[in-house]
Amino acid sequence: MAAVHRRLARNRRRRHVLVRPRVFRDRSNPLESLNDFEIYQRYRFCPDTIHFLVNGVSDQLVTATKRNSPVPPLLQVLLFLRFVATGAHLRLIGDSLGISESSVGRSVKAVAAAIIAVFAQATLVFPVGEIATKVKEGFRRVAGFPKVIGCIDGTQIRISTPKANEADYVNRKGFHSLNVQMVCDPNFRITSLCARWPGSCHDARIWRTSGLYQKFENGNYPFNHTTCDYDGILFGDSVPP
């Protein structure tokens, strides 16, 4: 019996000493092997838009490393787009492009942070001045509403179960989410976004605590000081007084 225990102990030590060889997988470029329709089906963006994203965030995604075969910016963006388009498990997304599960997780986080850093301030701009005039004209052409400067509503974005204050994130439909307030123009471009409230919060509370609400209340815009009247209104659901 003692000899059996000694042999088992030696086998355990050998397993700890064994080093797994690194496997370098083939990382082909899906944009070269798929047509435009197939790319849109998988990533919800056309090739030109994907290249636009890659060119914008590539500097943020290239890291100084001595490791072989780092994940290039293009594949990192594709992994991110596949994740947000499908919500599939990281391992399944990685298998589709020959990337490990851990690398997929790092890529998704890195691309999300890069998009926020590069595009958020440049693209999420509430219309003022001449741009506001064009927005109001666009809404007037859509449905004949005068002075509409944006459509506002909240949307529930599903998230994983949080570790802290878990009950606060359960929305009225019974799943964990963030209640994200967004404003868009007549071309469906997002002009304002507030994404810091859990799913249980009411749309009215989010609106009254948002920076956009404060700017409306303080007369920063879209108030016309010449006519002493508001030049624009937000179109949305009714809220309690």
| Per-residue pLDDT tens over the stretch 209-232 | 999 998 888 877 665 555 555 578
Q: What is the pLDDT of residue 15?
A: 55
* CB-based contact 104:71 (threshold 8 Å): no
Per-residue confidence at 23, pLDDT binned at 50, 70, 90? low
Average pLDDT over residues 191-195: 92
Instruction: Bin 48: left if φ > 0, else alpha if -120 < ψ < 50, else beta.
Output: alpha
Q: What is the pLDDT of residue 153?
A: 94
Q: What is the pLDDT of residue 232?
A: 83
Grouping H, G, I as helix, E, B as strand and the rest as coil, residue 107 is: helix
Residue with the bigger pLDDT between 65 and 156: it is 156
Q: What is the pLDDT of residue 88?
A: 87
203 pLDDT above the threshold of 80: yes
Strand 233-236 versus strand 148-158 pairing type? parallel
Domain boundary assignment for the chain: 14-122, 124-236
**pTM for this one?**
0.67
Residue with the bigger pLDDT between 219 and 15: it is 219
Contacts 24+ apart (CB under 8 A), 94-97: 97/27, 97/30
Q: What is the pLDDT of residue 219?
A: 76
